[in-house]
Amino acid sequence: MTRVRCAVPATECESSQLQPVSAQALAGCLRLQQVDGVGLQTAHRLLRRFGSYAALFEASYEALLDCLRPAQASALLAAPAPALAGLVEATLRWQAQPGHALLLFGAPGYPPLLAQLPAPPLLLYVQGRRELLAQTALAIVGSRNASGQGRLTAQRMAHTLSDAGLTIISGLALGIDAAAHVGGLAGQGSTVACIGTGPDRIYPACHGELARRIAVEGCMVSEFALGTPPLRDNFPRRNRLISGLAAGVLVVEAAAKSGSLITARLAADQGREVYAIPGSIHATLARGCHQLIREDGAKLVESADDILVDLGRLQRAAAGYGPPDDGFVDTVLAALGQHSATADGLASQLGQSVAELQGQLLALELAGLIERLPGGQFQRVWQ
């Protein structure tokens, strides 16, 4: 089985010390989110202009008019809603619970892929293993009314991809989403659930046990404030998180007018890869996948290796790694011999940097000449 390497080394993710968000910064962020007529695009423009929440709310009306219409400037300078103080206190208590974290845009710990979006969330509520948000991930989405075969395919695909080192991302919905989470939890890469409610709500309620398990073994992420119910308009925003955190999106089953197609098109707009599993020409739940392949350039997938090879190739290209020459291949294979070794050990033995060697090792994996073992060990494949 081929594997893909993490977007950020796990040791870096695990060792970084996350500082709690201060009451002042949290109050500024929540207050800005509550200003009528100010969306995320405008909020980011304001923060770039003024540099901080404190400076923004201390700005004069005239200074705000450089970025806002008069009605928006007046709304921003109005006294905060009476309920804001209570929400800030409740959110700080939520943050203080074990396994909980608040991630402000621009601060350490914010997911690097998500930060590249045109208007990323100002604040993320995270429960569980936040280091998963910086790992190479694949989103798996599909119909809520999935067939039994579709759910089984999603679960098995997620399990295989998770075992290969990918984090599986989905939206905790019925059908394909739930199956993907279960499969991701069963593998080494685990799973991330992006939810369309506040972090203190579980929707659908029947996924309470699954959500609690993900919050311990995987990671739960929301951009919505405490107490936010499952509002219809929140789920398209949730979908952009699903695609934004992933290197690609796999659609397993989807009707012709499915929300999963929205996620797939968001992924394409964000520069992510889109994959789709074909089905019978007579199956309603295959039509969305066929449409993605026929009209939107999705890559047809028949096995997990189709995705692993493609993502590995893309990672190598992004990192500027070319194929290793024959002399280098012989050198690595000779260094491994009959034993296994870590990338650090091989780099030291070969007198090469670990960063350079990682890309070459991935190329050798894709060529089927070496394989990656648990614990970051590599061994030669004897043929």
Domains observed in the chain = 21-95 (no CATH), 127-306 (3.40.50.450), 321-380 (1.10.10.10)
Check residue 12 and give its pLDDT: 38
SS3 291: helix
Report pLDDT for 149.
95
Question: Can you tell me the distance from the alpha carbon of 307 to that of 274, in angstroms, rounded to the nearest whole number?
Answer: 10
Contact 181, 170 (CB under 8 A): yes
Query: Among 26-30, 141-145, 209-213, 279-283, where is mean pLDDT lowest?
Result: 279-283
Integer CA distances (angstroms), 145 to 258, 276, 293, in order: 11, 17, 21
pLDDT attached to residue 99: 95
Report residue 315 as tokens. Answer: 């990672």
For the ranges 90-99, 103-112, 229-238, the maximum mean pLDDT occurs at 90-99
At residue 251's C-alpha, the angle toward residues 148 and 299, to 5°, is 130
- Which range among 202-206, 245-249, 314-318, 367-371 shows the weakest confidence by mean pLDDT? 314-318
What interhelical angle do 287-295 and 259-269 show, nearest 10?
Answer: 20
Calculate mean pLDDT across residues 41-66.
Answer: 95
Report how far residue 96's alpha carbon sits from residue 89's, in angstroms, rounded to the nearest whole number.
11
Evaluate if residue 318 carries a pLDDT over 60. no
CA dihedral (336, 341, 342, 348) positive or negative: negative
Is the model's pLDDT at 253 over the cut of 60? yes
Distance of alpha carbon 141 from alpha carbon 132, whole angstroms: 18
The pLDDT, as a whole number, for residue 11 is: 35
Is residue 121 within 8 Å of residue 105, measured between CB atoms? yes
Inter-axis angle of helices 148-163 and 176-186, nearest 10: 30
CA angle 195, 279, 237 (to 5 degrees): 20
Cα–Cα distances (Å) from 342 to 11, 85, 163, 345, 350, in that order, read: 14, 51, 18, 5, 12
Mean pLDDT of the chain: 87
Instruction: Provide the pLDDT for residue 374.
Output: 59
Mean pLDDT for 18-23 is: 92
Q: What kind and span of H or E run contains 118?
A: none
What percent of the chain is modeled with pLDDT above 70?
A: 87
Do 336 and 342 touch, CB atoms closer than 8 A?
no
CA dihedral sign of residues 82, 83, 88, 90? positive
Rounded CA gap, 238 and 266, in Å? 11
CB 245 within 8 A of CB 192: yes
Q: CB–CB of 248/280 below 8 Å?
A: no
> Residue 224 gets which letter from DSSP?
S
